[in-house]
Structure 1
């Protein structure tokens, strides 16, 4: 049960910035400050633009993998480069999920 109050002073700019960061992470200002002070991971909520970007990266990854498979026997060097690009996209997708 949370029944002890802690107060601190900050500038008006800091207060607004904390409030914005709390909103972006989907937390109250209290939860945001508590999590920050306790070194807990704070993850920003995905907005619609981020979700669309994530979906686009998935499509690009799948398309590059398909292209790589189509040219595997015809041009091994190009196949390798295309797969490296697809793997790089996959790495970004994994980072997106964190």
Structure 2
């Protein structure tokens, strides 16, 4: 559990910049500052929009179907797997 507090001063523009970077990284301002201080680098993983999430789900579904087809050809009917 985090109980200790560290404070630092910055001007309004610096705070907006840091807050914006934290938002782009998908973490809170506190978490962003903590990771930056401890590790010096944060890999931003922006949140996906609802539309992007739907596309991702569709790709997962298509991937699953393609894997099933490949397994069907490979294991159920080995004749499909022979080269012409």
Shorter-chain TM-score: which interval?
0.5 to 0.7
Tell me the matched-pair count.
74
Deviation of the 1:17 alpha carbon: 4.4
Report SS of the residue matched to 1:75.
helix
Any stretches of 5+ residues in structure 1 without a counterpart?
79-98
> Cα 1:49–1:36, aligned 2, differ >3 Å: closer, same or farther?
farther
Any stretches of 5+ residues in structure 2 without a counterpart?
none
Deviation of the 1:41 alpha carbon: 6.1
Tell me, yes or no, if the aligned pair for 1:35 and 1:41 is still in contact at 8 Å.
Answer: yes
What TM-score results when the alignment is normalised by the length of structure 2? Answer: 0.55
Deviation of the 1:59 alpha carbon: 0.7
> Cα 1:70–1:36, aligned 2, differ >3 Å: closer, same or farther?
same
Question: Where does 1:76-95 land on structure 2 (aligned, <5 Å)?
Answer: 76=81
What TM-score results when the alignment is normalised by the length of structure 1? Answer: 0.50
RMSD: 3.3
Aligned to 1:21: 21
Residue 68 (1) aligns with residue 70 (2):
yes
